[in-house]
Amino acid sequence: MRRNSFVLMVLFFTILSGGVLLHSCKHSPYVLPEDQRTNDPSICFERDILPVLQSNCAKSGCHDAASGEKGYVLDNYANIMKKGIVPGNPAASTIWQSLNYTTGEKAMPKDAPRLSDATIDLIKRWIAAGAVDSGACTTSACDTTKFTYSSIVAPIMQSNCTGCHNAASDPGGSLADYNSVKEAAVNGRLIGDIEHLPGYNNMPKNGAKLQDCQITQVKKWVAAGALNN
């Protein structure tokens, strides 16, 4: 009798612990081990990912340090990694999920146009490779001999500016279409602001200054007549 209840007890705890193990397996998503996280050379966090999150998400009332809506603060690497990024696992990363939704409550940025598919895919690939902070970008894809509106200036605006400067919410004017960017170029605000010249407003607001190479590209485009090319 005693022996039987002992066996029963062992059985009971075996099932219980097995259940707990299975349970925890089911609910903790796969995380890429640290030693397997790599720096995809085509993606540079500081240049390609951070400005997108800063300008589209780290805004007042949303995910800047003061607001921290739903616990997400998306203003620098350390804060971005605290919630919503699972290295190696985009599907479990709520930040990527929310950018990837096309409709519904959870789709981000809230009340603003969805980011471009290319940008959403870049963030996905960055997470898949391990979501590392590559530091200052050593291999910059930026080439100062290239400065057309469609292939250079518009993408710079999209990554760094249109999160705040779009048709829906435009402090100081939209930068989401050619005519608006041209207007800011012609009145001198565009260059004064991105160069952080005295008497101008430093842009991107609350974010890191654009790379020197990007500033040169924008200046060359303006100097050549700010064409819709």
Residue ranges binding ligand HEC (CB under 6 A): 55, 59, 160-161, 163-165, 171-173, 175, 184, 189-190, 193-194, 200-201, 203-207, 210
- Our CB check for ligand HEC shows the closer of 152 and 210 to be 210
**Residue 29's closest CA among 82, 80, 93, 77?**
93
- Our CB check for ligand HEC shows the closer of 95 and 218 to be 218
The span from the CA of 122 to the CA of 117, in Å, is 9
Provide the CA 209 distance to its chain's centre, in angstroms.
16
The span from the CA of 45 to the CA of 52, in Å, is 10
Cβ at position 159, least distance to ligand HEC in Å: 8
Residue nearest to ligand HEC (CB): 172
**In one letter, which amino acid is 153?**
V
Judge whether 130 and 36 are in contact, CB under 8 Å.
yes
Judge whether 62 and 69 are in contact, CB under 8 Å.
yes
- Our CB check for ligand HEC shows the closer of 100 and 160 to be 160
- Our CB check for ligand HEC shows the closer of 134 and 214 to be 214
